[in-house]
Amino acid sequence: KFGATLKTSRLLLERAKELDLAIVGVSFHVGSGCTDPETFVQAISDARCVFDMGV
């Protein structure tokens, strides 16, 4: 619904680098009513992947 895919995240990070912008973090939101632990596992895994792209 909101946010960026992993592919789009890579493109955004590349563009930020071109513009000499300092990206300082990664966040995620799984939904306020989410109770499935696996959803959180996937979100954390995806956030880590984006974080690693920016390193």
What is the secondary structure of the chain as a DSSP string? --S--HHHHHHHHHHHHHTT-----------TT---HHHHHHHHHHHHHHHHHH-
Distance CA 23, CA 37 (A): 28
- How is the chain split into domains, by residue range? 6-54
Please give the pLDDT value at position 55.
73
Please give the pLDDT value at position 3.
87
* Under-50 pLDDT residues of the chain: none
Please give the pLDDT value at position 2.
78
Please give the pLDDT value at position 11.
96
Distance CA 12, CA 38 (A): 26
Please give the pLDDT value at position 1.
63
